[in-house]
Structures are given as C-alpha cells and as structure tokens.
C-alpha cells in the first residue's frame, strides 16, 4: 500500500474528453468563460472541464459527482451528490452513517457547502441524520442563516423531511467499546487513510462549488466541532479564483483559517499546488509546532482547472476525475525526515 497508487476507472474513460476539446475550439468566441478555458489550455494541458477533486480515496464519490456534471448538472449538485455517497457508506468510519462516535457514544456530524455565488450553509454537531451535506444545503437555500447547530439543526432537518436514523453502526459501537477500555484521548488523525470527504467541482460552465462532510475526530469531547463546517477553514470557494478544502486535525486548520488562506494565496497568483504548500507551511513553521504528531492536508483547484494537494505527512491522497480518468493521486508532503 505504501507506494504511489493510481486507480483508473476504465469503464468511465472518455466521459469527460469531448467537453474540454469542444470548448477549446471556440477560440474566436466572445464568450468570457470560453476564453478562460482557453487560457487554461495554455497553462495546463490537462485542465479541461468538467472536473472534480476530493480528499482521500473516494472514487465512487467522484464518479457520482462526474455523472452529475456530465449530465449538465451544476457543480453544486455534483459536490452534494458526491458527498452523499460517502455519507451513506457505512464502512467509512469518519463520515455520515457509521462514523465513529464521540467519547460518550454519540455520532455527531459537521458539514458545509458553498456555491458559485459565495452563498454557504453549514451544520455542526448534527445527530441522527445521515446526509449532513444536504441539510447544510437546505440551510443555505431555505433559511436566512449560514449555520445551524445541534438540536436546532436536527429539528430543521426533520422539518425538511430528512429521516431520523441511528448513525452508530455495530462496527463503530464495537470500536468505541474497545476504545473505552483505555479511554485515551489523543486526537491524532490516522495519516494512512481516511474518509472524511471534502470535494470541489467545476462544471461545464466553469463555475465552482465545494462541500465538506465528516463525523470529525473519533472519541472527541462531547460538543467538539472541527474545521469541516467552518466556512473559510474546512472549505472556501470564490468562483472568480478557485476553491480549497481541508482534512486532518481540524483545530490546526481553524487556527490558520486554512481554506480561505489557500484561496487568497491563489488570488495573489500562486498555483493551487504552491498555495497548498504555503498553507501547510503556516502550520508547520509555527514556533513549537507539534506537527510531527498530527496530519493536515489540503486540496485546491483554481478557475483554470489546475489542481494541487499537499499535506504534512505522507499518505494523504486526492481523488481526481477529469478527462475520463478517475484516479487516486498521492500527495506530496512536508515531513520527509
Ligand atoms: C475534523 N477535519 O473534524 C476533521 C477531520 C478530518 O480527515 O478531516 N479527518 O477535525
């Protein structure tokens, strides 16, 4: 497992090629969006649209998102639908149903979503509802607010017709019982593999949206909320510039307002890769940084469709679906010692 992994979904090969090349042939068009795609083609030959990227190894989720994009769906629909795949996957123990609980045995979810207009919605400490990302979207679209928490978020979800479910699966209950024997609280993110999902998509119109959903740190303190539902930390999108999502130890992302930082660095002219690297630098270069003991990873995309990813430690990966190829790409990382 400890090597570069490429997973190509042959069945879907070809799905995204036509769009990019047909748009690039419209060089004489007055259309601003097409011009932007043209610029992308000169700076990054791989930057054809639509595209979707996500944190970790989630090819089923990116495949779902691409299905939406290929059917002329919006980036917003794509990221919501993509994230829902992992939320429903009971085997993934860090998101949605099957997520590992807090130290008291409660599964609590954090999620957010952001659209091309800069609108956003978020839920924190949501219980008993699998599709936190969809509740976040409802907060964005059907309330005058950005964020709903705890009981209020649950009540809102139920009023919106979401189903009440027990999110603590037998497997997660078993893991929690085993953890309780020693009850050691050490909020260290598993740096090998994870399922917390942050997703960014650019649709055929060149519009960007993003979403993020998680059950947060396993065995966290009751009431703990991480970076994932915090706009600017776990996720940020500016349709003129690009988007970023974070994964890993949320406290460290929040302290540096990581995703907003990455987008602002891209605004200043950095590539997505350079911006992710600099944002990780802000964490590891702090005096007395304890970075050897935790993981943080960022993925980012800019308006041209160029992508980047970077983490503190090895084995963070990004899943990318573009030009008919759905692949897991290992990230470069800081701690090479
Ligand atoms: C959190 N950032 O709650 C989330 C956890 C995560 O990969 O992303 N894990 O801190």
The neighbouring-strand residues paired with 310 are 298, 332
Q: CB within 6 Å of ligand 1 — which residues? A: 94, 189, 194, 196, 214, 216-217, 226-228, 247-250
The confidence band for 43, taking pLDDT boundaries of 50, 70 and 90, is very low
Q: Are strands 197-202 and 208-214 parallel, antiparallel or unpaired?
A: antiparallel
- What the block records as the tokens of 180 is 């309780």
Round to whole Å and give the CA distance between 235 and 30.
33
The neighbouring-strand residues paired with 114 are 120, 210
Check residue 262 and give its pLDDT.
98
Check residue 218 and give its pLDDT.
87
Closest approach atom of ligand 1 to CA 249: 10
Nearest CA to ligand 1 atom 10: 250
User: What CATH number does the domain located at 51-333 have?
Assistant: 3.60.20.30
Round to whole Å and give the CA distance between 220 and 116.
33
| pLDDT at 27 > cutoff 50 | no
Neighbours of 103 (CB within 10 A): 16
Residue with tokens 């030959």: 45
Check residue 137 and give its pLDDT.
98
Question: If you measure from the C-alpha of residue 311 to the centroid of ligand 1, how many angstroms do you get, rounded to a whole number?
Answer: 13
The confidence band for 21, taking pLDDT boundaries of 50, 70 and 90, is very low
Nearest CA to ligand 1 atom 9: 248
Nearest CA to ligand 1 atom 8: 247
Ligand 1 mutation pick, 55, 56, 94, max ligand atoms within 8 A of CB: 94
Nearest CA to ligand 1 atom 3: 216
Closest approach atom of ligand 1 to CA 253: 2
* Helices (runs of H) and strands (runs of E) counted in the chain: 10, 13
Round to whole Å and give the CA distance between 319 and 71.
20
Contact 318/301 with Cβ under 8 angstroms?
no
pLDDT tens digit sequence for 227-264: 999 999 999 999 999 999 999 999 999 999 999 999 99
Query: What is the residue-averaged pLDDT of the chain?
Result: 85
Question: If you measure from the C-alpha of residue 16 to the centroid of ligand 1, how many angstroms do you get, rounded to a whole number?
Answer: 31
Range in 108-117, 163-172, 203-212 with the lowest mean pLDDT: 163-172
Contacts for 306 with CB less than 8 Å, ≥ 6 apart: 40, 43, 44, 47, 271, 272, 273
Helix (H) or strand (E) run with residue 77 in it: helix 75-88
| pLDDT at 30 > cutoff 70 | no
pTM: 0.85
Q: How do the residues of the chain divide into helix, strand and coil, expressed in percent and rounded to 5?
A: 35, 20, 45
Say whether 213 is catalytic.
Answer: no
Ligand 1 mutation pick, 57, 101, 248, 297, max ligand atoms within 8 A of CB: 248
The confidence band for 8, taking pLDDT boundaries of 50, 70 and 90, is very low
| Catalytic one of 196, 213, 214, 256 | 196
| pLDDT at 266 > cutoff 60 | yes
Assign 323 to helix, strand or coil: coil
Report the half-sphere exposure of 298 (CA within 13 A, side-chain side): 37
- Most confidently modeled range among 46-50, 174-178, 290-294, 301-305: 301-305
Contact 81/68 with Cβ under 8 angstroms?
yes
């Amino acid at each position: 497992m400890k090597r570069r992994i490429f997973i190509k979904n042959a069945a879907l090969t070809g799905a995204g090629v036509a769009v990019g090349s047909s748009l690039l042939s419209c060089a004489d068009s007055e259309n601003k969006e097409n011009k932007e795609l043209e610029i992308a083609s000169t700076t990054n030959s791989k930057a054809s649209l639509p595209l979707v990227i996500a944190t970790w190894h989630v090819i089923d989720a990116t495949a779902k998102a691409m299905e939406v994009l290929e059917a002329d769906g919006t980036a917003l629909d794509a990221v919501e639908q993509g994230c829902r795949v992992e939320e429903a996957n009971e085997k993934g123990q860090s998101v949605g149903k099957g997520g590992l609980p807090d130290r008291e045995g409660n599964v609590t979810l954090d999620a957010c979503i952001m659209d091309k207009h800069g609108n956003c919605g978020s839920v924190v400490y949501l219980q008993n509802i699998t599709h936190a990302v969809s509740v976040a979207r409802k907060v964005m679209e059907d309330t005058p607010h950005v964020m709903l928490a705890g009981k209020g978020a649950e009540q809102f979800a139920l009023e919106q017709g979401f189903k009440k479910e027990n999110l603590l699966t037998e497997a997660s209950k078993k893991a929690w019982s085993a953890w309780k024997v020693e009850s050691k609280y050490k909020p260290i993110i598993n740096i090998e593999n994870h399922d917390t999902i942050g997703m960014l998509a650019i649709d055929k119109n060149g519009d960007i949206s993003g979403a993020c959903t998680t059950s947060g740190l396993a065995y966290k303190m009751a009431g703990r909320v991480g970076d994932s539902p915090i706009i600017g930390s776990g996720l940020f999108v500016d349709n003129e510039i690009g988007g970023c999502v974070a994964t890993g130890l949320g406290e460290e992302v929040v302290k540096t307002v990581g995703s907003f930082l990455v987008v602002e660095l891209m605004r200043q002219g950095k590539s997505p890769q350079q911006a992710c690297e600099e944002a990780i630098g802000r964490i590891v270069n702090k005096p007395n940084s304890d970075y050897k003991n935790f993981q943080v990873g960022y993925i980012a995309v800019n308006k041209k469709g160029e992508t980047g990813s970077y983490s503190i430690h090895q084995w963070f990966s990004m899943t990318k679906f573009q030009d008919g190829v759905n692949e897991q790409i290992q990230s470069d990382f800081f701690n090479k010692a």
